[in-house]
């Protein structure tokens, strides 16, 4: 695991940090924007994120600083290396003029990835496919 | 044929090797001798690094007389870019849903 990749996405939300923090740490709220889960805001707590596509992510809370930082392990363990993913997701909240700047960094390492064939690139594919319509609007 | 990303990652994990690859990307085709002058390691070591980069599809060699010229194949990094692009899209989409949720939530 000597080489990793990081994805960083930042956005400003017109809502106070406290409200974003709730959306990031209360299970029923997390379920509304991310995935169904049994999250508990407690370092060391292991939980699952259950995707609509049937996949399960193994997670563990690594870091909590209320209204500032939340980090957890985000692993998709699979014998098939094409679907295996080990990563850490870190949310950072910063007060901004109009609300809160939220940054998510996902640092990940894929031990192996088979080449794309028939579009089934990796575990995210089903999930991503469902988002096509939404992505069209973003792009 | 494109090599799998793990091979790319391993190839670029070594800082000396990464520096060689970056130099080739920046300065274009070069001989082993020229690369050695900048690498800070011996010529056999540079040749070995180039062999690894070549196996990963990151560089291509061209023989001209007694010299071997190496050039970068940045297109071979595409599988890595695909991963990050997909994850960026994933989080962009999640943020859209988060925005919707925040609007629905009371203070």
Domain segments of chain B: what residues? 5-104
Which residue among B10, B86, B101 sits closest to A33, beta carbon to beta carbon?
A: B101
pLDDT band at B36 (very low <50, low <70, confident <90, very high): very high
User: To the nearest whole angstrom, how far is the Cα of B95 from the nearest Cα of chain A?
Assistant: 8
Q: Summarize pLDDT for B75-93 with one digit per residue, the tens.
A: 777 666 666 777 788 899 8
The confidence score (pLDDT) of residue A63 equals: 97
A43 inside 8 A of chain B by CB: no
Residue A34 per-residue DSSP state: T
- Distance (Å, whole) CA A79 – CA A100: 39
- Distance (Å, whole) CA B54 – CA B52: 5
Task: Give yes or no for a contact between A101 and A19, defined as CB atoms under 8 angstroms apart.
Answer: no
Is the confidence metric ipTM above 0.90 for this complex? no
pTM greater than the 0.80 cutoff: no
Which residue among A115, A116, A138 sits closest to B96, beta carbon to beta carbon?
A: A138
How does the average pLDDT of chain B come out, rounded?
A: 84
Task: Give yes or no for a contact between A17 and A95, defined as CB atoms under 8 angstroms apart.
Answer: yes
Identify the H or E element spanning B61: strand B59-64
- Distance (Å, whole) CA A124 – CA A55: 9
Tell me which CATH code domain B5-104 carries. Answer: 1.10.10.10
Secondary structure of A38-96 in HEC code, one letter for each residue: CCCCCCCCEEEEECCCCCEEEEEEEEEECCCEEEEEEEECCCCHHHCEEEEEEEEEEEE
Q: Domains of chain A, with CATH numbers?
A: 5-138 (3.30.530.20)
Contacts of B93 in chain A (CB under 8 A): 131, 134-135, 138
Higher-pLDDT residue of A132 and B74 is B74
* A115/B4 Cβ within 8 A: yes
Q: What would the two tokens of residue A20 be? A: 């974003």
Q: Summarize pLDDT for A7-22 with one digit per residue, the tens.
A: 888 999 999 999 999 9
Q: Name the burial class of residue A42, with classes exposed (0-12), middle (13-18) and buried (19+) by CB atoms within 10 angstroms of its CB.
A: exposed
* A33/B98 Cβ within 8 A: yes
Which residue among A34, A111, A138 sits closest to B92, beta carbon to beta carbon?
A: A138
Q: Summarize pLDDT for A80-95 with one digit per residue, the tens.
A: 665 677 889 999 999 9
Q: Digits of tens for pLDDT over chain A (139 positions)?
A: 334 678 888 999 999 999 999 999 999 999 999 999 999 999 999 999 998 767 789 999 999 999 999 999 999 887 766 567 788 999 999 999 989 999 999 987 655 443 333 233 333 333 333 323 333 333 3
């Amino acid at each position: 695991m000597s080489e990793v990749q990081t994805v960083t996405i930042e956005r400003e939300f017109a809502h106070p940090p406290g409200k974003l923090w709730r959306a990031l740490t209360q299970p029923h709220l997390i379920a509304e924007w991310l995935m169904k889960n049994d999250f508990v805001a407690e370092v060391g707590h292991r939980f699952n994120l259950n995707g609509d596509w049937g996949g399960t992510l193994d997670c563990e809370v690594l870091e909590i600083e209320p209204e500032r930082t939340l980090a957890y392990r985000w692993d998709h363990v699979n014998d098939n290396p094409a679907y295996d993913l080990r990563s850490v997701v870190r949310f950072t909240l910063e007060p901004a003029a109009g609300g809160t700047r939220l940054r998510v960094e996902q640092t990940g390492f894929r031990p192996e990835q088979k080449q794309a064939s028939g579009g089934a690139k990796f575990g995210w594919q089903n999930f991503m496919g469902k988002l096509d319509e939404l992505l069209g609007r973003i792009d | 044929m494109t090599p799998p990303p793990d091979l790319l990652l391993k190839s670029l994990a070594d800082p000396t090797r990464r520096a060689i690859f970056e130099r080739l990307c920046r300065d274009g085709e070069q001989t082993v001798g020229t690369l050695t002058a900048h690498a800070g390691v011996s010529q056999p070591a540079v040749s070995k690094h180039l062999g690894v980069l070549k196996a990963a599809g990151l560089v291509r060699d061209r023989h001209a007389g007694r010299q071997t010229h190496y050039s970068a194949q940045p297109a071979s990094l595409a599988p890595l870019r695909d991963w990050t692009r997909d994850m960026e899209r994933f989080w962009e989409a999640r943020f859209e849903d988060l925005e919707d949720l925040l609007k629905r939530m009371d203070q």
